Structure 1
């Protein structure tokens, strides 16, 4: 009798900067999901893939690290995605990356949405833009997203205890659906 493989949770940070509050957020969420589900977590930072993602229009023209990141996303069991709010939506880098994901590659894939914003009003990014994008992919968007503003981080861009409580609530609601 074989033991089931651990769930692979892949987080994607759509931030064009490093270090990034968005990376801290998606990494924290993925780790919490991995702990709750007995899985493994990894984070893909798009900031380091900017040049490779801009190398061509078609996926075969992209650099090898960008293609590998796309494959890791498409083969993940669970996704955690996040982007900083930029002009009321996700970053162009986030969009460029997901433009190369296969249209049917994420069907029924559980996805937990998150976003970082400078102001509380920018948090609508999760409900209005990210939810719509992953509906296009026919993914199983999990019930509670985790938007946050600057108050969710300390001066070193680490997640605060208050934000960890919100992450725990999202993970608790997501776990039975994964």
Structure 2
């Protein structure tokens, strides 16, 4: 059984979802690269307690389980569909419940989907500052995919596949450095 874990969180509330497919693609590609286990969740998996929760203790057990998986993962892959130029409200609300120090130093791959190119800066202007607040280690390569990058729900763009490869390579190097540090300790 792999000792590393990659967890994905998709900010979409509908199924099937391009965002979930995209996040899951990144999660599995990274897990394969580093020999890790892979899990992907979306907002729907948090259940009905999420919208009304004001703190983690207000979440139902299945939602607290997902938060724990994200916090204890070796790497987090987060993605949101673009809604009016930003991430979805429930995606943000979910992360509002996390302790501010819970993601400190955790490698995070940032991803987003949207209808067109005009929303492509969501990863830099919305997601990167959010995970900067948590002092997470957001990978330099963030990935945005628009509707034209998918066909029948599958990612088809070679350019996006290449960006995913860059983000996976960056994360693999970061994980390799942390392994060497723990061996030295």
What's the TM-score, normalizing by structure 2?
A: 0.89
- Cα distance in 1 for residues equivalent to 2:58 and 2:165: 40
1:37 to 27, 34, 37: 34
* Gap regions ≥5 residues in structure 1: none
8 Å contact kept, 1:54–1:62: no
Provide, for residues 122-159 of structure 1, a one-character-per-residue CA deviation record: whole Å limited to 9, x for no partner: 0111001100000000001111011110122112x111
Instruction: Report the Cα distance in structure 2 between the residues aligned to 1:159 and 1:81, rounded to whole angstroms.
Output: 17
CA positional deviation for 1:165: 2.7
The reply on whether 1:158 has 2:154 as its aligned counterpart is yes
Shift of residue 92 of structure 1? 0.4
Partner of 2:135: 138
Residue of structure 2 in register with 1:110 after alignment: 107
Q: CA deviation at 1:161?
A: 4.8
Structure 2 alignment gaps of length 5 or more? 176-185
2: CA distance between counterparts of 1:105 and 1:67? 14
Q: C-alpha root-mean-square deviation of aligned residues, in Å? A: 1.5
User: Counterparts of 1:147 and 1:62 in 2: how far apart (Å)?
Assistant: 30
| TM-score, reference length from structure 1 | 0.92
| 1:98 and 2:95 are equivalent in the alignment | yes
Q: Distance in 2 between matches of 1:125 and 1:47?
A: 22
Please tell me whether the aligned partners of residues 16 and 50 of structure 1 are also in contact (alpha carbons under 8 angstroms): no
Contact 1:37 1:175 in 2 (8 A): yes
Cα distance in 1 for partners of 2:78, 2:22 equals: 10
Deviations 1:54-73 (A, max 9, x none): 23322212111111111111
Distance apart, 1:17 and its partner CA: 1.0
Structure 2 residue aligned with 1:15 = 12
Cross-structure match for 1:57: 54
